[in-house]
């Protein structure tokens, strides 16, 4: 098989794409996979790191506010469509997969125009604009939440959950390795803070303002700040004089970070929510308020309504987040309840289920159902 996977822009798009690719290769090692991303975006570094080839399109997003950069949008979109058509013509894929993000639009449209079957993977509980536009041509739409027939034709939908990196599913086996990697003492409660692949300013500033409270309570922090905040975080950590706080711009060994965490503070991006469900960690979610259609709040509420997570609004985080985290870490019974509930929402076979749907499109004569 020859498969194109397109999309990116954030870790929430890239890592599910890599998980699908890994599963396709696991099912049939001879499968050839080409990634298509947006030039200058993080997929151009993360995908090669995972061992796959990627080519970039000059496509950019259109800003919601009036800006000069929007004037270039139609020209870059036109160039991207031409480049996408060239890629499809040269690679000759059996199927194309779109995971959301700028590049998936031109590529899936080019594939559809050539009669190549396409699959969309929608991670969020509120469908993104690109996927809503592409849905009319897609043969299959894999979703993570029920009720997505509000956006897509019901006969195209397959409820699979979100694929995550395979190592996340085995995080519980990495406790000792994680403690060594992060220099964690098993005698102190540990809080993992992940604002997303680029960090989260509100979360970072909330944690920064409460560092001494965590130190005084004997709490260890593993703090992923994103690259823009790391120097400021390191200075704040140094000012406490404590060895309990570890700040990183990016954590590649996320399975080991989850393994040693007693609780987690996180944004409510689709990938983060799916990973938390699989590892079963009690979590406080701080949804990004500027996410399209406020989809992160909708993602978070899907857990909160099942008593599977706590929610702190972004606007209240600077006053409430640290207190909420300290209260949760001091309440083992609440941690256990949240952990039990969130585990019931996990879908560990998501990557395999989506890969099988891709195979059915690429090789309909195979009748494959693994």
Total residue count of the chain as it appears in this document: 370
Q: Per the annotation, does 85 bind a ligand?
A: no
How many CA atoms are closer than 13 Å to the CA of 295, on its beta-carbon side? 19
Is 358 labelled a binding residue? no
Cα–Cα distance, 93 to 109 (Å, whole number) = 14
Q: Is 124 annotated as a binding residue?
A: yes
Residue 130 marked in a binding site: no
60 in a labelled binding site: no
111 annotated to bind ligand: no
In three-state secondary structure terms, 221 is strand
Beta bridge partners of 265: 193, 284
Residue 271 is assigned to a ligand binding site: yes
User: ∠ at Cα 322 (213, 266), nearest 5°?
Assistant: 135
Q: At 253, list the tokens.
A: 């060994």
Is 12 one of the annotated binding-site residues? yes
> Nearest 5°: phi and psi at 57?
-110, 150
Ligand-binding site membership of 365 (annotated): no
Annotated ligand binding at 274? The verdict is yes
Helix (H, G, I), strand (E, B) or coil at 191: strand
- Asked if 204 and 282 count as a contact pair (C-beta separation under 8 A), the reply is no
Is 10 assigned to a binding site?
yes
32, 1 contact by CB (below 8 A): yes
The annotation status of 194 as a binding-site residue, yes or no, is no
Beta bridge partners of 190: 220
Query: End-to-end distance of the chain based on CA atoms, in angstroms?
Result: 16
Annotated binding site for UDP-N-acetyl-alpha-D-glucosamine: 10-12, 124, 165, 197, 251, 270-275, 296
Binding positions are: 10-12, 124, 165, 197, 251, 270-275, 296
């Amino acid at each position: 098989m020859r498969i194109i996977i397109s999309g990116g822009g954030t870790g929430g798009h890239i890592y599910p794409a890599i998980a699908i690719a890994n599963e396709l290769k696991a099912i049939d090692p001879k499968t050839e996979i080409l990634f298509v991303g947006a030039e200058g975006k993080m997929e151009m570094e993360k995908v090669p790191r995972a061992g796959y080839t990627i080519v970039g399109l000059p496509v950019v997003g259109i800003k919601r506010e009036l800006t000069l950069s929007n004037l270039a949008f139609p020209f870059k979109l036109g160039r991207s469509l031409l480049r996408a058509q060239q890629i499809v013509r040269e690679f000759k894929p059996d199927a194309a997969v779109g995971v959301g993000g700028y590049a998936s639009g031109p590529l899936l449209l080019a594939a559809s125009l050539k009669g190549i079957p396409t699959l969309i993977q929608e991670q969020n509980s509120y469908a993104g604009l690109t996927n809503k536009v592409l849905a009319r041509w897609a043969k299959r739409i894999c979703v993570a939440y029920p009720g997505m027939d509000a956006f897509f034709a019901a006969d195209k939908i397959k409820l699979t959950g979100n694929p995550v990196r395979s190592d996340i599913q085995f995080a519980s086996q990495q406790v000792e390795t994680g403690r060594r990697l992060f220099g964690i003492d098993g005698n102190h409660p540990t809080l993992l803070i992940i604002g997303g692949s680029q960090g989260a300013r509100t979360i970072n500033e909330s944690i920064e303002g409460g560092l001494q409270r965590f130190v005084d309570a004997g709490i260890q922090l593993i703090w992923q700040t994103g690259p823009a905040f790391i120097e400021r975080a390191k200075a704040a950590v140094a000012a406490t004089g404590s060895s309990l706080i570890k700040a990183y711009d990016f954590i590649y060994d996320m399975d080991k970070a989850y393994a040693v965490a007693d609780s987690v503070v996180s944004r409510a991006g689709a990938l983060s929510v799916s990973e938390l469900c699989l590892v079963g960690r009690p979590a406080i979610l701080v949804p990004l308020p500027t996410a399209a259609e406020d989809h992160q709040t909708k993602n978070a509420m899907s857990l909160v309504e099942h008593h599977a997570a706590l929610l702190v609004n972004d606007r209240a985080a600077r006053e409430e987040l640290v207190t909420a985290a300290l209260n949760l870490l001091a309440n083992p019974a609440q941690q256990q309840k949240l952990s039990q509930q969130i585990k019931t929402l996990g879908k560990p076979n998501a990557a395999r289920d989506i890969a099988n749907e891709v195979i059915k499109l690429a090789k309909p004569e195979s009748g494959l159902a693994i």
